[in-house]
Amino acid sequence: MKENDISFILNHLGEERSNYFNSVAPPVIQSSNFCFETVDEMRAGLKKEFEAPFYTRGFNPTVGILRKKIAALENSEDALVFGSGSAAIAAGVISTVAKGDHVICVNKPYSWTTKLLNNILSKFGVETTMVNGEKLSNFEEAIKENTRLIFLESPNSWTFELQDIEAVCNLAKKKNITTIIDNSYSSPLFQQPISMGADMVVHSATKYLSGHSDVVAGVLCGTRERINKIFASELMTFGGILSPHDAWLMLKGMRTLQLRMERSASSGKKIVEFLQNHPKVEKVYYPFSKENLQYELARKQMCDCGGMFSVLLKTEKMEQVELFCNNAKRFLLACSWGGYESLIFPACTLYNSQNYDGSSNYLPWNLVRIYIGLEDPEVLIEDLEKAMALV
Ligand X SMILES: *Cc1c(COP(=O)(O)O)cnc(C)c1O
Q: What gap in Å lies between CA 283 and CA 194, rounded to an integer?
A: 32
244-275 CB burial, b ≥16 within 10 A, e <16: bebbbbbbbbbeebbebbebbbebbbebbebb
307 is a contact residue toward ligand X (CB under 6 A): no
Closest residue by beta carbon to ligand X: 85
211 is a contact residue toward ligand X (CB under 6 A): no
Shortest Å distance, C-beta 153 to ligand X: 6
Which strand (E) or helix (H) includes residue 128?
strand 127-131
161 is a contact residue toward ligand X (CB under 6 A): no
Stretch that binds ligand X, among 80-88, 299-307, 342-350, 353-361 (CB under 6 A): 80-88
Stretch that binds ligand X, among 21-29, 96-104, 202-210, 283-291 (CB under 6 A): 202-210
Which strand (E) or helix (H) includes residue 282?
strand 281-285
Shortest Å distance, C-beta 194 to ligand X: 18
Stretch that binds ligand X, among 67-75, 78-86, 161-169, 239-247 (CB under 6 A): 78-86
Nearer to ligand X, 327 or 336 (CB): 336
The candidate with the shortest Cα–Cα distance to 330, out of 381, 286, 257, is 381
Handedness of CA 64, 70, 72, 77 (dihedral sign): negative
Give helix then strand counts, H and E, for the chain. Answer: 15, 12
- Cα 304 to the center of its chain, rounded Å: 16
Q: Using CB under 6 A, pick the residue from 76, 114, 157, 294 that binds ligand X.
A: 157
Radius of gyration for the alpha carbons in the chain, expressed in angstroms and rounded:
22
Which strand (E) or helix (H) includes residue 370?
strand 367-371
Q: What gap in Å lies between CA 167 and CA 179, rounded to an integer?
A: 12
Stretch that binds ligand X, among 4-12, 79-87, 193-201, 259-267 (CB under 6 A): 79-87
Shortest Å distance, C-beta 128 to ligand X: 17
- Cα 25 to the center of its chain, rounded Å: 26
Stretch that binds ligand X, among 133-141, 166-174, 199-207, 225-233 (CB under 6 A): 199-207
Shortest Å distance, C-beta 215 to ligand X: 9
Shortest Å distance, C-beta 327 to ligand X: 26
Per CB under 6 A, contacts with ligand X among 85-144 are 85-86, 110
Q: What is the largest CA-CA distance in the chain?
A: 74
Site pattern 214..243 for ligand X (x: CB under 6 A)? --x-x-------------------------
Q: Using CB under 6 A, pick the residue from 164, 182, 246, 304 that binds ligand X.
A: 182
Q: What gap in Å lies between CA 111 and CA 93, rounded to an integer?
A: 15
Stretch that binds ligand X, among 200-208, 248-256, 282-290, 342-350 (CB under 6 A): 200-208
Helix (H, G, I), strand (E, B) or coil at 23: coil
Q: Using CB under 6 A, pick the residue from 95, 96, 147, 184 that binds ligand X.
A: 184
Q: Which residues contact ligand X (rule: CB under 6 A)? A: 84-86, 110, 157, 182, 184, 204, 206-207, 216, 218
